[in-house]
């Protein structure tokens, strides 16, 4: 390992090295890497604890402490730079109960959410979940919003949740926040947010076959004619198969 590292250092004069501890073992890695890249650089073949590598999937929740610092940090390995003296361990996942539900049979009320997830009434507002969130969300406020009956607020506060489970790992009331929030958002989307009437309208028009004749004709046209039609609609005109364009 040391020989490789020397070659690396010579090749990469701009890079400073940092010492990190993975599962207790020290490794010297370039300091501009993310935690995830540093693990790979150190030779760890990742199967679990890695997914999108872009901060969306929540697979790479990592907890760490720093030298001479009592605090326990929780971050995404793919979105966090290594620091010298970092001691880290990865959580493959946080086990959680995911009840099954049929959205069509539910009501969009906090009572319904509490019936499915009674443990949210045990929230002691300790805010540990919020402190654990690598997305800087406020899960505690969202749980409290549900208890107040404000599902819209809870849906909004939890919208950027990537279900990494860090909150659930820390919660003394053993709430699985991300499943609770998923239910709340679906209830909000289905029952509280008003429906888009223009979508339903267009679906009916299509299903009634209003566009069939024009589409039948359009897809058989030669390419140059299709190009003309495109330029015409791009200029803001209505679609018309009439050679002269414009309205019939």
Q: Which residues are paired to 18 by β-bridges?
A: 29
Query: If binding is defined by CB under 8 A, does position 23 make contact with other proteins?
Result: no
Distance of alpha carbon 180 from alpha carbon 140, whole angstroms: 12
Distance of alpha carbon 45 from alpha carbon 91, whole angstroms: 15
Closest among 156, 97, 161, 92 to 130, alpha carbons compared: 161
Q: Does the CA dihedral 231-236-239-242 come out positive or negative?
A: negative
Total number of residues binding other proteins (CB under 8 A)? 79
Cα-flanking dihedrals φ and ψ of residue 39, to 5°?
Answer: -60, -45
Encoded one letter per residue, x for contact with other proteins by CB under 8 A and - for no contact, window 43-82 reads: xxxxxx-xxxxxxxx-x-------------------xxx-
Query: If binding is defined by CB under 8 A, does position 226 make contact with other proteins?
Result: yes
In this complex, which beta carbon is closest to other proteins, that of residue 3 or of residue 244?
A: 3
Distance of alpha carbon 4 from alpha carbon 134, whole angstroms: 34
Q: Segment contacting other proteins (CB under 8 A): 17-25, 113-121, 123-131, 154-162? A: 154-162
Query: If binding is defined by CB under 8 A, does position 150 make contact with other proteins?
Result: no
In this complex, which beta carbon is closest to other proteins, that of residue 68 or of residue 102?
A: 102
Distance of alpha carbon 170 from alpha carbon 48, whole angstroms: 21
| Contact yes or no for 161/186 (Cβ under 8 A) | no
Q: Segment contacting other proteins (CB under 8 A): 17-25, 112-120, 122-130, 227-235? A: 227-235
CB of 17 to other proteins, least distance (A): 12
Among 32, 83, 112, 150, binds other proteins (CB under 8 A): 32
Encoded one letter per residue, x for contact with other proteins by CB under 8 A and - for no contact, window 166-195 reads: ----------------xx-xxxxxxx-xxx
In this complex, which beta carbon is closest to other proteins, that of residue 12 or of residue 67?
A: 12
Residues 205 to 224 in contact with other proteins, rule: CB under 8 A: 206-207, 211, 214-215, 218-219, 223
Among 72, 103, 124, 126, binds other proteins (CB under 8 A): 103
Closest among 37, 30, 24 to 86, alpha carbons compared: 24
Among 19, 21, 37, 119, binds other proteins (CB under 8 A): 37
Residues 108 to 137 in contact with other proteins, rule: CB under 8 A: 135-136
DSSP one-letter code for 53: S
| C-alpha 89: how far from chain center | 22
Distance of alpha carbon 37 from alpha carbon 7, whole angstroms: 19
């Amino acid at each position: 390992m040391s020989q490789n590292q020397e070659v690396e250092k010579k090749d990469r004069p701009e890079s400073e090295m940092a010492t990190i501890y993975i599962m207790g073992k020290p490794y010297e890695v370039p300091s501009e890497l993310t935690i995830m890249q540093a693990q790979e650089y150190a030779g760890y073949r990742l199967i679990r604890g890695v997914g999108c590598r872009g901060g969306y999937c929540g697979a790479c929740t990592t907890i760490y402490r720093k030298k001479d610092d009592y605090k326990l940090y929780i971050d995404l390995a793919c979105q966090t730079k290594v620091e010298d003296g970092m001691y880290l361990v990865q959580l493959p996942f946080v086990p959680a109960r995911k009840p099954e539900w049929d959205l069509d049979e539910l009501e969009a009320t906090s009572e319904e959410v509490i019936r499915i997830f009674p443990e949210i009434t045990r929230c002691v507002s300790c805010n540990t979940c919020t402190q654990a969130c690598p997305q800087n969300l406020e899960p505690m406020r969202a749980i409290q919003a549900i208890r107040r009956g404000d599902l819209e607020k809870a849906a909004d506060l939890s919208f950027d949740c990537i279900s990494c489970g860090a909150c659930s790992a820390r919660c003394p009331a053993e709430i699985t926040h991300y499943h609770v929030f998923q239910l709340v958002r679906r209830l909000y989307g289905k029952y509280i947010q008003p429906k888009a009437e223009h979508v339903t309208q267009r679906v009916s028009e299509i299903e009634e076959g209003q566009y069939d004749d024009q589409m039948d004709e359009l897809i058989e046209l030669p390419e140059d004619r299709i190009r003309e039609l495109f330029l015409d609609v791009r200029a803001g005109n209505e679609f018309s198969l009439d050679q002269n364009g414009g309205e019939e």
